[in-house]
Structure 1
Amino acid sequence: MKRTIAFSLLAAGLTLGGSALAEAVVGQPAPAFTGVDAAGKPVSLDQYKGKYVVLEWVNPECPFVKKHYDSGNMPTVQKYAADKGVVWLSVSTSADGDRAGKSAAINDWVKAKKAMPAATIMDLGGTIGKAYGARTTPHMYLIDPSGKLVYAGAIDSKPSANPADIKTSTNYMVQAIDESLAGKPLSQAVTKPYGCSVKYG
């Protein structure tokens, strides 16, 4: 039986403004989206049809995110993905606010961390996050060339904010990319995400 997942606030017993987040189900089409990146350019999932796409929810202030960026781990995985032709989209979800200020700040942070996303999408108001049921930073998704969601969950197997744990953990995203590109069933198609809560406001 295929493993499926519905990462929703309803499943977690939480709601946003009285309504639950939509489902993002492994094995089903990934929710379509259109957004604007930190450079002010439009970005849509549809423009990457025919490619593998990683979605990574990010918050520079989160200690779990800092674990993977300050150590250089996440930029290394981003480069690994890019070298294999995988598109990496970081998503910064927040309540409505100063788009220009937030975009400038995250652009500076991406540059300082030598990160390599194809784009950082500014998800002000949380439309994209709600469509996927993104709960944590980081929260990771892998979408295949047909637009199907094939992985959802954590970046790795050790849910801590300690950079020392990276060396002894299983990197689920690298594993999912490698197995998908090799045409193999994923060893872990669904894992439990860990990190700071996504800030929907």
Structure 2
Amino acid sequence: MVLTSSTMLVLNSDAPFFSLLDTVSDKIISLDDFRECKGLLVMFISRHCPFVKHIKTELAKLGYDYQDKNLGIVAISSNDVVNYPDDSPDNLKLMAQEEGFNFPICYDENQDIAKAYKAACTPDFYLFDHNLKLVYRGQLDDSRPSLNIPVTGKDLRSSIDALLLDQSIEIEQKPSVGCNIKWKLGNEPEYFN
């Protein structure tokens, strides 16, 4: 594991397009599926990463707490499954079932979507408004596996709540920290080196 921080994609960036297989439903999920939502949360996650394991219960709570609030949520895993088989589509599906995730977990096999979002770590969070413009990127909260700080999701939740109430997002946007995305050999993006 290499401790890695978010690249902090420029605010007001357009949501990069994606069209990926949802490991749970076996259906294709695309950015177009969320165009009628008031907001969209895109999360880059991993099954094996201790930083994601630390917050997985909060991720499930996010899904349930916002399921009736017109917020689209999608998780994406982009890790190389040859070297990290815990992140295979079958294991992602198992993770969703074990944790009770009610949002799609998509598999980015060629890692193009991670590159388009300039994702660097798991977890990595991107919140877009109804125009699919980036309004928040960064951490869930200040908790980390090695710290004695409870997982609350306060940074991300306050940003989502402000978005849904048509308010500006006032919170300081701090980078997420976690495991680096496991790039396939020779596929590392320029922004990651």
Alignment partner of 2:78: what SS? strand
> Which of 13, 31, 48 is the matching residue for 2:16?
31
Contact 1:67/1:163 (<8 A) preserved: no
* 1:48 maps to 2:34: yes
Task: Tell me the C-alpha RMSD between the 2 structures.
Answer: 2.4
Whole-Å Cα distance in 2 between the matches of residues 94 and 103 of structure 1? Answer: 10
Contact 2:142/2:149 (<8 A) preserved: no
2:112 maps to which residue? 127
Structure 2 gaps of 5+ residues are 1-5, 185-193
- 1:170 to partner: Cα distance: 5.8
Whole-Å Cα distance in 2 between the matches of residues 82 and 166 of structure 1? Answer: 23
Count of equivalent residues: 175
2:159 maps to which residue? 176
1:157 maps to which residue? 142
> Which of 93, 113, 125 is the matching residue for 2:99?
113
Amino acid at match of 1:161: P
Query: Where do 1:63-78 residues align within 5 Å?
Result: 63-69=50-56, 72-78=57-63
Amino acid at match of 2:27: K
2:7 maps to which residue? 7
Identity %: 23
- 1:189 to partner: Cα distance: 6.4
After superposition, the Cα gap between the structure-2 partners of 1:93 and 1:189, relative to the gap in structure 1 and judged at 3 Å, is farther
* 1:148 maps to 2:133: yes
After superposition, the Cα gap between the structure-2 partners of 1:93 and 1:134, relative to the gap in structure 1 and judged at 3 Å, is same
After superposition, the Cα gap between the structure-2 partners of 1:134 and 1:37, relative to the gap in structure 1 and judged at 3 Å, is same
Whole-Å Cα distance in 2 between the matches of residues 161 and 49 of structure 1? Answer: 35
After superposition, the Cα gap between the structure-2 partners of 1:62 and 1:142, relative to the gap in structure 1 and judged at 3 Å, is same
Whole-Å Cα distance in 1 between the matches of residues 123 and 136 of structure 2? Answer: 14
2:183 maps to which residue? 200
**What whole-Å deviation, never above 9, does each CA across 1:131-172 have from its counterpart, x for those lacking one?**
0111111100111111111111111123x21485225x6621
Alignment partner of 1:128: what SS? helix
Structure 1 gaps of 5+ residues are 1-5, 9-23
**What whole-Å deviation, never above 9, does each CA across 1:59-108 have from its counterpart, x for those lacking one?**
11111111112xx2221122112132211101011237599x92111111
Amino acid at match of 1:35: L
- 1:25 to partner: Cα distance: 2.3
Amino acid at match of 1:7: T
2:189 maps to which residue? none
Alignment partner of 1:28: what SS? coil
Calculate the TM-score normalised by the size of structure 2.
Answer: 0.81
